[in-house]
Amino acid sequence: MNIYQGRLLRLFDPWRSPLCTCPVKYSLHPYTGCSHKCLYCYATAYIGLRESTPKKNFIENLRKELDKANRNIIVEMSTSSDPYPPIEDKLRLTRQTLKELFRRGFRVLITTKSSLVTRDLDLLSANRSAVMITITTLDKRLSEIIEPGAPPPSERLLALKELAKKGVPVGARVDPVIPFVNDDPAELSLLVEKLQEVGVKHVVTSTYKAKPDSYRRIVSALPELEDKLRNIYFKEKTYVSGYYYLSLDVRMKLLRPVVNLARKLGLSYATCREGLVTKEFFSARSCDGSHLLSYSSP
């Protein structure tokens, strides 16, 4: 297989995590940084917490790389810097990128927290695409604390509904599940019910994996939880591929409300970098939603 990589179009999993279950795919980011500024973001450990900034000469450089790339490999936008930050409404850099990709016959998986993705329904519904939208909670107040720059959960649900109605296969990421923050089983179950109602076909979930910078942001915003989070994350010091993990039994307990209801409702489901690949926690052909592209009509 041709596995060409450029500076912009890179094969996913640069850290080669032993727990990664993603299929082979390209990862593409029109922007550096992310204006959603989620407290739990892992990417800030590498690039810092900063506003979304368009990459210089992005489209010109991308065209050169796409001409050399393998069109059989899915392109995911994006795995760290959201492709639909507020500035995209004006710059339309992601929209231009989609045009370049679809013109060449690439299949595209969008992963975002933004309802702005519906602006590009004309492109997405006419080409091989699927969309995964992250919703960590239905609680608007809590979302404003942990995802201060992202649209409210209600807007994301409406976006999923609109995409599904237009024939774009949609899934959702219910992650990260953070202990004592958004882990209430009843609320997680209600979230999965709402996702099924708006047309979601696939759900992926995972627990929060602590890094020093994201941990500091969370306990700074929610200081009443600092002692609890310190005890549950750092007492046993389960360190995997650069992250502090919860113990296995705690991770399974937190994720069961999501996967159990997804299974009951007939949705495919998976976990992300948890090492949980039994049928109880992983039923889908892909964890990230890549398999949704097989439902695309174009």
Who contacts 289 (Cβ-Cβ below 8 Å, separation ≥6)? 109, 111, 130, 132, 171, 202, 204
User: For residue 14, what pLDDT is reported?
Assistant: 52
User: For residue 285, what pLDDT is reported?
Assistant: 94
- Spatial separation of the C-alpha atoms in residues 260 and 263, rounded to whole Å: 5
Give the pLDDT confidence of 229-269 residue by residue, as tens digits.
999 999 877 999 889 999 999 999 999 999 999 999 999 99
Give the pLDDT confidence of 86-100 residue by residue, as tens digits.
999 999 999 999 999
Mean pLDDT (whole number) for 179-193: 98
Dihedral sign, Cα of residue 104, residue 105, residue 107, residue 113: positive
Who contacts 159 (Cβ-Cβ below 8 Å, separation ≥6)? 114, 115, 117, 118, 133
Q: Is the pLDDT of residue 15 over 60?
A: no
**Token digits for 91?**
């710059």
User: For residue 297, what pLDDT is reported?
Assistant: 66
Q: Is the pLDDT of residue 157 over 80?
A: yes
Q: Is the pLDDT of residue 147 over 80?
A: yes
Domains in the chain: boundaries: 10-209+245-295
If you average pLDDT over every residue of the chain, what do you get? 95
- Fold held by 10-209+245-295: TIM Barrel (3.20.20)
Look-up of token digits 């310190």: 230
Which residues make beta-bridge pairs with 132? 111, 171
